[in-house]
Amino acid sequence: MSVFPKIWLRPEVENYLKEGFMNEEVVSASSKQDAERRFEALLNRLSHPPSFTTVRVNTHLASVRHVRSMLLEELQKQLNGVSVPVLQHPALPDVLLIPVIGPRKNIKKHECEAVVGAQCGNAVLRGAHVYVPGIVAASKFMKPGDVISIYSDIKGKCKKGAKEFDGTKVFLGNGISELSRKEIFSGLPERKGVGVRMVEPLYLSPSFDGVLPRYLFLQNLPSAVVAHVLNPQPGEKILDLCAAPGGKTTHIAALMRDQGEVIALDKISSKVEKIKQNALLFGLNSIRAFCFDGIKALKLDLTEATGEAPPFLPESFDRILLDAPCSGLGQRPHMACTWTLKEVASYQPLQRKLFSVAVRLLRPGGVLVYSTCTITLAENEEQVAWALATFPSLQLQPQEPRIGGEAMMGAGLSPEHRRQLQRFDPSAVPLQGTDVESVARARTEDMIWLANKDCIGFFIAKFLKCKSTSQKDLQN
């Protein structure tokens, strides 16, 4: 079952990825044909949405049972009586799973249409309505109340304000226009809000815009695993080094029962404000967010007076999360990536700088969790191999909960080390087509298994700092 073409990449980027996924160690463990088949399957999965929508419950304000009950009521209204279950994840007790119905067949395409940008299109496939800034083109006769077909310009070739577009576009479903074409492209000031309300999406997935905002956070399943792997404890001092928009930050604070201190850093002020807003909305008082570059978070001049703001003294934190800036090639759905190879490869040096700072800021006996939402060997397994070789004070640790698969071969890691890592690989299962009837017939344990497998591409490593940072470590 395949609705969309595989993710579009520049040839040099696709070749770069292929070399990693078909490295000598991988090929020798199976075969060249099998490795190539898995790689092509991965590219195909990336263009399609996961089989489940995942939301995390803010357990600081309400019980999972209570929020689940409220969510079921909301879904009944939103999905016009279509009955879908809301499952509590057995290994992630604060996570709820909602099956995505689709791709739906026999949706009629209309003459009136609108073209949206790729990012907007990705959001629509996961349940969002179409917001005005995402609309790139619209039929010349479009007016409020019209039923229109929505297409995604996956390669970014459509000109803003165009009346038609014959380039590469992908059908996303139908919606009802809230505005006329003239109103959408009237010029400054730019309009905001919903431009098209989706009524027949290709994938039926609930919208969470304004839905139980104090109690739910829309979060991919592997992203919700991360804070549990970090395992924060009440009273600890914890650093979220690259924190925006604050999903993992608020998760950490909630798991600590809001007892202790969670420092959140990001170098973009608007994103820091979003972290603060989320903390306030969730009623979490233990979070302090700063607009600060994580690379500069270590205080080098120990003679200066220290305060509560960054930079921080060495070995100041009990646990550190480095959810590193990355190429993001594990995100789904992701129909096209226009990045150059230089852009994709630029993240490894940045990640190493941030990792080096994190090691120095971590106290002996402390835990460092490194994660990315990408699939490249260079940003994941190679970084772990580099870290173990560079910092003798670090030891790789097993992870709980254990939901992802083991790490990929090709970075020189031992089988034991690979088993201690978690790589979430969307190609692990065939593409699933789901309808209401098949969901009603499915066993709960089968749906949980599918949700664990058919998610975004993601990677998690957990380290223990066994001893104080040596002089050699400080010089790296």
Q: Which of 326, 373, 455, 466 is catalytic?
A: 373
Q: For residue 373, indicate whether it is catalytic.
A: yes
Distance separating alpha carbons of residues 139 and 142, to the nearest angstrom = 5
Per-residue HEC secondary structure of the chain comes to CCCCCCCEECHHHHHHHHHHHCCHHHHHHCCHHHHHHHHHHHHHHHCCCCCEEEEEECCCCCCHHHHHHHHHHHHHHHCCCCCCCCEECCCCCCEEEEECEECCCCCCCCCCEEEEEHHHHHHHHCCCCEEHHHEEEECCCCCCCCEEEEEEECCCCCCCCECCCCCCCEEEEEEEECCCHHHHCCCCCCCCCEEEEEEEECCECCCCCCCCCCCEEECCHHHHHHHHHHCCCCCCEEEECCCCCCHHHHHHHHHCCCCCEEEEEECCHHHHHHHHHHHHHCCCCCEEEEECCHHHCECCCCCCCCCCCCCECCCCEEEEEEECCCCCCCCCCCCEECCCHHHHHCHHHHHHHHHHHHHHHEEEEEEEEEEECCCCCCCCHHHHHHHHHHCCCEEECCCCCCCCECCCCCCCCCHHHHHHCEEECHHHCCCCCECHHHHHHCCHHHHHHHHHHCCCCEEEEEEEECCCCCHHHHHC
Question: Which residues are known catalytic residues?
Answer: 373
